[in-house]
Chain A
Amino acid sequence: GIQVEQSPPDLILQEGANSTLRCNFSDSVNNLQWFHQNPWGQLINLFYIPSGTKQNGRLSATTVATERYSLLYISSSQTTDSGVYFCAVPFSGAGSYQLTFGKGTKLSVIP
């Protein structure tokens, strides 16, 4: 199956700082999703971004499909941004859309 690697595994930021999270994947994909898992365990959809760049407020994401990576940018971080950020891609099987997740980046934003 497809391999998904995220870096860094852990990140501690001072409130107001910017950060970049990276997701590498081992095969071509036609779908990539970024999620934020908050401290209560909820998985929140951030972006559906198989290619190109999207922005939503302080967050933006870029996927370069030909080079098999995606980046999530968080600007002016806030304590509410804390949690685990996952990227996920479909398993590379015909007609299969099960998502394979990376191990996540655990972000802690301190006041």
Chain B
Amino acid sequence: AAGVIQSPRHLIKEKRETATLKCYPIPRHDTVYWYQQGPGQDPQFLISFYEKMQSDKGSIPDRFSAQQFSDYHSELNMSSLELGDSALYFCASSRQGAKNIQYFGAGTRLSVL
């Protein structure tokens, strides 16, 4: 079965640089979620999109932005990167009306040097 695809899997950036993470949800899933997991921490919700509109917002820094495109893939844009942004970033997808079970991608591991 198709799963959530995230790219890249690993990313190394310098402080103050920008990064773009991509997420391709499971086919026919209409909702995408982004989570951030710091070292030794549990995943924290950042932002979600339903049918290409932002549906919910969590603890996402103002330096980050995200969107969902017409083909339902989503991108998380991160600017002015800081050391503290080093984390594992997960994308999850679900289908409204299908119990909203969230399926997670393999994550993007971002290291900011």
Contact = CB atoms under 8 A, between A and B. Distances in A.
Interface in B95-109: 99-104, 106-107, 109
Interface string A83-107: 0001010110101111111111000
Q: In the complex, which of the residues A93, A101, A103 has the most CB atoms of chain B within 10 Å of its own CB atom?
A: A101
The binding surface of chain B is classed by DSSP as strand
Nearest to B109: A41
B45 A42 contact: no
Given A31-B99, A86-B42, A104-B42, A98 B56 contact: yes
A31 B100 contact: yes
B43 interface: yes
Interface string B29-45: 00101010000001111
Nearest to A48: B101
A103 B43 contact: no
Interface residues of B, number: 24
A45 B56 contact: no
A43 interface: yes
Interface residues of A, number: 23
A14 to B, nearest CB: 25
A93 B109 CA distance: 30
A45 B45 contact: no
Contact of B94 (A35, A96, A97): A97
Interface of B: 31, 33, 35, 42-45, 48, 55-56, 58, 88, 90, 92, 94, 99-104, 106-107, 109
24 contacts: A31-B99, A31-B100, A31-B101, A41-B88, A41-B106, A43-B90, A43-B104, A86-B42, A86-B43, A90-B100, A91-B45, A93-B56, A95-B55, A96-B56, A97-B33, A97-B56, A97-B102, A98-B58, A99-B33, A99-B43, A99-B92, A101-B43, A101-B44, A104-B42
